[in-house]
Amino acid sequence: MKDQYAGDFGDYVKLALLRRLMPGHRLAVGWYRTPNDPDRRDGLHVEYLSAGQEDRWKHYDPVLYDHLRDLVHGETRSILRLQEILLADGNSFFDNELRSRAERAPWFALFSRSLPDDKALLFLDPDNGIASPRFSGSTASVTCEEIAYLRGGTRTIIIYHHHTRAKGGHIAELKEIASRLMPSHTHQAVCALRAPGWSPRSFFIVGPTRPLWDRAQLFARDWEPHVTFHALTEVPDDIGLTPGHDAYQRVAMLEARGILDIMTDKLVAKIGPAADMPA
């Protein structure tokens, strides 16, 4: 993400999606901020904010639309201004600049240490999205290994991905990336929302619970035909596991999400603490 991109059409879809998924969750954002490049022409897709386009686009998220219009038509386009619409108690943002390949390892270490506990939703916004298996260390991508590390097995992560000219087209690209993001033996889910307008992009949601999965589906339905929903695994249950998981995986997920402690507390409250055993 670059300051010069702030407010383009991709940001409208991106922030509208995050605003739809946020209720009931804290949000952490890693902007993967890189230096501006005056030679690049990206970030110019702002015609959706012009007076003649308001009736077509504003109704999807009127508050966000007005915020982005003020940002784009103001003196400075910046990530700092962009994230103002996401400000809420408990939300956090990491916007340290990633300037070179040599800085990737220390930057990533600092970013991972900055994150709140793994119950917060995490959004990653690298310029190019998810790296190919032939990744060469670019500052513009996040690798599947880095995503797995940030997930820690249970965190739900939303990741921006800019579509490439991969063989088979965009849907085949979604399926190939999903197979690397979430191996089937984990019995956790992956879905994606694709927004092909102007510059084709998708947003992967890795490890969602059923309520988040349903919100994403409803978001795509509300944004038709500009956004489509793609189920890349089976539908998850309320704690985020797909069919076929075993008892050990279920207990581990319940514990990781803090649900096991809640269930234990409710049980103790219902039947009382265990009596002391006689000597």
Once rounded to an integer, what is the mean pLDDT over residues 151-163? Answer: 88
Is a pLDDT exceeding 90 seen at residue 42? no
Once rounded to an integer, what is the mean pLDDT over residues 42-47? Answer: 70
Enclosing H/E stretch for 63: helix 62-73
Distance CA 268, CA 272 (A): 5
Q: Across the strands, what pairs with 122?
A: 28, 157
Range of the domain at 275: 246-279
Q: CATH code at 17?
A: 3.40.50
pLDDT of 261: 47
User: Tokens at residue 134, please?
Assistant: 């032939």
263 with 233, same domain: the answer is no
262 with 235, same domain: the answer is no
Contacts of 255 (CB under 8 A, 6+ apart): 261
Q: How many contiguous H segments (helices) and E segments (strands) does the chain have?
A: 10, 9
- Cα 182 to the chain's mean position, in Å? 15
220 with 278, same domain: the answer is no
Q: Which residue has the higher pLDDT, 49 or 221?
A: 221
- Residue 96 CA: distances (Å) to CA of 38, 166, 236, 240: 20, 31, 34, 31
Q: In what order do the strands lie in the sheet with 157-162?
A: 92-94, 27-30, 121-124, 157-162, 201-206, 190-195, 228-231
41 with 145, same domain: the answer is yes
227 with 251, same domain: the answer is no
232 with 251, same domain: the answer is no
Going by pLDDT thresholds of 50, 70 and 90, the confidence category of residue 271 is low
Is a pLDDT exceeding 80 seen at residue 98? yes
124 with 223, same domain: the answer is yes
pLDDT one-digit tens code per residue, 53-96: 889 999 999 999 999 998 888 777 888 888 888 877 778 889 89
258 with 129, same domain: the answer is no
Once rounded to an integer, what is the mean pLDDT over residues 248-277? Answer: 55
pLDDT one-digit tens code per residue, 218-250: 999 999 999 999 999 888 887 777 777 666 566
186 with 251, same domain: the answer is no
pLDDT of 7: 84
Range scoring the smallest mean pLDDT among 43-57, 117-131, 171-185, 234-248 = 234-248
44 with 115, same domain: the answer is yes
251 with 206, same domain: the answer is no
Once rounded to an integer, what is the mean pLDDT over residues 103-129? Answer: 88
pLDDT of 262: 46
Distance CA 164, CA 228 (A): 18
Total domains present in the chain = 2
276 with 149, same domain: the answer is no
Is a pLDDT exceeding 70 seen at residue 97? yes
Mean pLDDT of the chain: 82
Is a pLDDT exceeding 60 seen at residue 278? no
Is a pLDDT exceeding 90 seen at residue 203? yes
Once rounded to an integer, what is the mean pLDDT over residues 169-180? Answer: 90
Once rounded to an integer, what is the mean pLDDT over residues 27-54? Answer: 79
pLDDT of 252: 65
pLDDT of 47: 86
